[in-house]
Structure formats: C-alpha cells, structure tokens
C-alpha cells in the first residue's frame, strides 16, 4: 500500500500567524473528500465531543459566573459558537482551509474576548496585556486514494514580553488540555464526515430526496456573485452513486430540442420528445455563450455563463444586456470515492417577475413549480448517471469529451425575442 505523505504545513497560516511562539498541531486521517469534511466542520456541535465540552465548561465557569461570557449552548454548531464568541475568520479557502483569529487575555482566569469588525481591525489590535490566538483547520491529501489529512493547528502570539511570560506559565498547564480538546473535535468532524459520505448507501429515503441540507442552503456557491441582491434563492441537491466525471456529461448536454433535454417532464419542456438516455459526444464541449434552449424551436434560452469541467456549470437568463435576470448553477462535489453530491441553485434578480405577477406571488408560484420540475430533473440525472448501460457508454465517449481547463466569463448579451416570460427555465418554470 502506498505510504501516506507527511502532514503539510500551510504557507497562508505561517504568514497570518507570523511571530507566534506557542504552537500545537494535531492531524487525523479522514476517508472523505474535502467538501464533506468542511460540511461536517460547520455542522459539528459540542454535543458531538462531550468530554471536550465538559472541560471547556469547567475552564470558562469563572468567566460565565462573573458575567464575562454567555452560557454555552451545546446544540449550537461549534464554528458558530466560536464566531459568536468573538473569533474572526481572517481567511476562508473552503473546502481546503479556514484560518481564524481572536484576541483575549488568555492567561487570566476571567476571559473577555475582544470583538473585531474586520481583519484590518484585528491586525491593528496591539494591547500589550493581550494575546492573539490563530487557528487553521485544513484538509490536505495523504497520497492515498479517498483519504485526506484533517489538520488543526493553533498558534498564539503574546503582544508584549510581559504577556508572553504570563502566558508561558498558563501554556504549560493548558497545552495538554487543549490538545485533548483538539483531538476530540477532529474525531467528531471525522465521524460526521465519514457518516455523511457513506450513510446514503444504506438507506432508501435519502436517495429519493432532493432536499439540500441547512449548510448547503447557506453555503456560497459559484454564480451567486452574478446576482448579489437576489429576491429568492432555491437550492436542491441529490446524491449520486457515481464519480463526478460520470455525472458531468449529462449536465453539459442539457437543453431542449436538438440538445439532450432537461431530464424532467418532457411533455412540458421538451415538446414531448424524450430526454436523452445516452451521452451525446457532440454535445460534450460547450463554450461560454453556448445556448441551452428552454423549449424546442423557441428563442427563449439560457446562456452558458461559466464552466469548470466536472465541477461547475452556470447558466443565465439574459433578459437585457449581459446582466442575468436568473442564474441556474450546477455544482458537483465528490463525497466519497464513487459518490457525488450534485447541488443545484437558482437565483432570481430584483427585476424578475413571473408573467408580471407581484414579487410576493412570483416567489410563491415559482417555489412550488420549480420544486416539482427540479426534483424530476435531479432524479432523472441520477437515474441516467447510475444506469449500467449509460455508465458503460460513458467510458467510451467521455475521454474526448472532457475539457482540461477552466473557462469562466460572460456571454454576449441578447434580448428576449418573444413575449413569453421565463420562470427560472421557461414559462413552464422550474
């Protein structure tokens, strides 16, 4: 078996925590992809690490009794608790690394963390009686298929020689306890990440569901930036028992008429013509600006705005100019070897109205109709990708259908040429 590579350092963390003299680093092996690990990191609670929670309660009990710190809620996600307690995210490169910073008089019994509006304020803080604590949580390859290092590294920098001497005494006592808490946290994240990655394989209902998790709905996805002030955002997801490169071909050939169809209710959105049940090689190379017709023989269409092969496909409905009125983004993430999570997000801009309805009615109608159409599409994509026949054909046609470089950008603007109004995909709406 291939040997694991050493736990790597983080240049970004070394730059952020430069000058820190009190350090600790712990790593565990996780058999999950980075996306699943970071999802678990944002979902894990103090209840998932009971002994660490108990030690923390004992450590901060004097501060809580003195009113310096609020009571802890063990049901809250751990990362949320940190941020609400004054910890600042100074660098977010999810799903690879997140770096946080905080400042407090860590050497004192009573804790009263400082709060900062932004990174600039945090970096400018230099009270000589305080310490700054930096933390890096990162995922790195081990060199073995399906495995990653999950690393948590702490670094503390005292802001004066006096504070350093005080903290050094505290460090000798707290370091073993801190290492235990770190180990408990990493194990809790690993359990949750690996459970998320494999649990769907043994259950029925999740495979019929297209419901996105709370974290998935809150997560920023590529394409969100194209409509900063959306009047509504709808996110759905499905887990597929195939690798991302087996799912991708079904996405790039979407579109009504001469394309592969929308894999939904064909009698509504594909002129009663069945959506493709095979991968079409000539449709595997879309470029920025490629038109994805909403309906057969209609001029209303989505335009390809951004593409990152085997990961991201963003379509946009360009009502006027190059600014999309609606975006429709498909994101692939590998949850475990041979298991893909497909997230789909639709965002509607402030000017979008369904057939001229007021905004409130637009949202109500679109939510219902979009769910019906989107669910059918996601289950259709999953069924095709998992089909043994389609999977075998994919092996013969995908090699020359893959694209080896990322392409992002805007398409040329065009005006809608018909009187019909789009509802996320067409007047039949997603």
Residue-by-residue pLDDT tens, the chain, 430 positions: 578 889 999 999 999 999 999 999 999 999 888 888 998 898 888 777 766 555 555 555 555 555 655 555 667 788 887 888 789 999 999 889 999 999 988 777 666 678 898 999 999 999 999 999 999 999 999 988 888 999 999 999 999 999 999 999 888 888 888 888 888 889 999 988 887 655 544 444 444 678 888 878 888 999 999 998 888 899 999 989 889 999 999 999 999 999 999 999 999 888 889 999 999 999 999 999 999 998 998 777 899 999 999 999 999 988 776 778 899 999 999 877 788 899 999 998 887 776 566 766 667 777 888 888 999 999 999 999 988 544 444 444 444 444 443 444 433 333 333 333 344 444 334 3
Check whether residue 92 and residue 189 sit in a common domain.
yes
Check whether residue 47 and residue 194 sit in a common domain.
yes
Check whether residue 238 and residue 384 sit in a common domain.
yes
* Spatial separation of the C-alpha atoms in residues 29 and 147, rounded to whole Å: 7
For residue 426, tell me if it sits in a domain.
no
Q: What is the pLDDT at residue 428?
A: 38
- Using one digit for the tens of pLDDT, what is the confidence trace for 184-239? 889 999 988 887 655 544 444 444 678 888 878 888 999 999 998 888 899 999 98
Q: Which of 154, 185, 200 is the last residue of a domain?
A: 200
For residue 418, tell me if it sits in a domain.
no
Token pair 């579109």 is found at 255
Q: What is the pLDDT at residue 287?
A: 95
Q: 3-state SS string over 206-230?
A: HHHCCECCHHHHHCCCCCHHHCCCC
For residue 419, tell me if it sits in a domain.
no
Q: Is 236 exposed, middle or buried (0-12, 13-18, 19+ CB in 10 A)?
A: buried
Check whether residue 141 and residue 80 sit in a common domain.
yes
- What CATH number does residue 146 fall under? 3.30.530
Check whether residue 278 and residue 403 sit in a common domain.
yes
Check whether residue 178 and residue 306 sit in a common domain.
no
Cα distances (Å, whole numbers) of residue 171 to 164, 168, 175, 413: 10, 5, 5, 60
Largest alpha-carbon pair distance within the chain?
78
Q: What is the pLDDT at residue 24?
A: 93
Check whether residue 209 and residue 196 sit in a common domain.
no
For residue 44, tell me if it sits in a domain.
yes
Q: Is 126 exposed, middle or buried (0-12, 13-18, 19+ CB in 10 A)?
A: exposed
Task: Indicate whether this model's pTM tops 0.75.
Answer: no
Q: What is the pLDDT at residue 28?
A: 94
Check whether residue 254 and residue 326 sit in a common domain.
yes
Q: Which residue range(s) make up the domain with 374?
A: 205-408
Check whether residue 81 and residue 225 sit in a common domain.
no
Check whether residue 115 and residue 239 sit in a common domain.
no
Cβ pair 239, 207 in contact under 8 A: yes
For residue 163, tell me if it sits in a domain.
yes
Q: Which of 139, 169, 200 is the last residue of a domain?
A: 200
Q: What is the pLDDT at residue 403?
A: 44
For residue 5, tell me if it sits in a domain.
no
- What CATH number does residue 341 fall under? 3.30.530.20
Check whether residue 150 and residue 248 sit in a common domain.
no
For residue 84, tell me if it sits in a domain.
yes
Exposure string of 66-101, with b = 16+ CB inside 10 Å and e = fewer, is eeebeeeebeebbbebbeebbbbebbeebbbbbbbb
Mean pLDDT taken over the chain: 81
Cβ pair 317, 275 in contact under 8 A: no
Q: Which of 200, 222, 256 is the last residue of a domain?
A: 200
Check whether residue 166 and residue 54 sit in a common domain.
yes
For residue 81, tell me if it sits in a domain.
yes
Cβ pair 316, 352 in contact under 8 A: no
Please tell me whether the peptide bond between 415 and the residue prior to it is cis, using omega within 30 degrees of 0: no
Count of the separate structural domains present in the chain: 2
């Amino acid at each position: 078996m291939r040997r694991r590579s050493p736990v790597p350092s983080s240049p970004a963390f070394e730059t952020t925590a430069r000058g820190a003299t009190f350090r600790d680093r712990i790593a565990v092996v996780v058999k999950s992809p980075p996306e699943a690990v970071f999802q678990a990191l944002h979902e894990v609670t103090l209840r998932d690490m009971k002994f660490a929670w108990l030690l923390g309660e004992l450590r901060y009990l004097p501060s809580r009794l003195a009113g310096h710190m609020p009571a802890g809620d063990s049901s809250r996600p751990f990362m949320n608790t940190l941020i609400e307690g004054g910890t600042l995210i100074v660098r977010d490169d999810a799903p690879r690394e997140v770096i946080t910073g905080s400042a407090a008089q860590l050497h004192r019994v009573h804790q009263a963390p400082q709060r900062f509006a932004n990174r600039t304020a945090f970096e400018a803080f230099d009270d000589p009686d305080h310490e700054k604590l930096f933390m890096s949580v990162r995922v790195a390859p081990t060199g073995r298929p399906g495995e990653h290092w999950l690393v948590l590294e702490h670094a503390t920098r005292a802001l004066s020689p006096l504070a350093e001497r005080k903290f050094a005494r505290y460090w000798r006592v707290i370091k073993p306890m801190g290492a235990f808490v770190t180990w408990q946290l990493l194990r809790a994240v690993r359990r949750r990440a690996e459970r998320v990655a494999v649990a769907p394989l043994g259950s029925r209902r999740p495979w019929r569901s297209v419901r996105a998790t709370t974290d998935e709905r809150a997560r920023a996805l590529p394409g969100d930036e194209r409509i900063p002030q959306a009047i509504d955002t709808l996110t759905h997801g499905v887990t597929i028992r195939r690798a991302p490169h087996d799912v991708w071909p079904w996405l790039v050939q979407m579109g009504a008429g001469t394309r592969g169809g929308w894999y939904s209710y064909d009698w509504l959105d594909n002129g009663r013509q069945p959506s493709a049940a095979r991968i079409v090689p000539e449709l595997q190379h879309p470029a920025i600006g490629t038109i994805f017709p909403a309906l057969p023989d209609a001029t209303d269409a989505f335009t390809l705005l951004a593409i990152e092969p085997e990961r991201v496909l963003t379509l946009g409905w360009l009502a006027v100019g190059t600014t999309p009125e609606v975006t429709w983004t498909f994101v692939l993430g590998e949850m475990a070897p041979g298991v893909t999570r497909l997230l789909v997000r639709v965002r509607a801009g402030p000017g979008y109205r369904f057939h001229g309805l007021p905004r409130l009615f637009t949202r109500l109608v679109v939510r219902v109709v979009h769910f019906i159409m989107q669910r059918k599409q996601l289950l259709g994509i999953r069924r095709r990708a998992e089909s043994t026949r389609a999977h075998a054909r994919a092996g013969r046609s995908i090699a020359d259908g893959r694209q080896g470089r990322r392409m992002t950008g805007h398409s040329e603007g065009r005006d809608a040429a018909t009187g019909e109004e789009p509802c996320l995909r067409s007047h039949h709406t997603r």
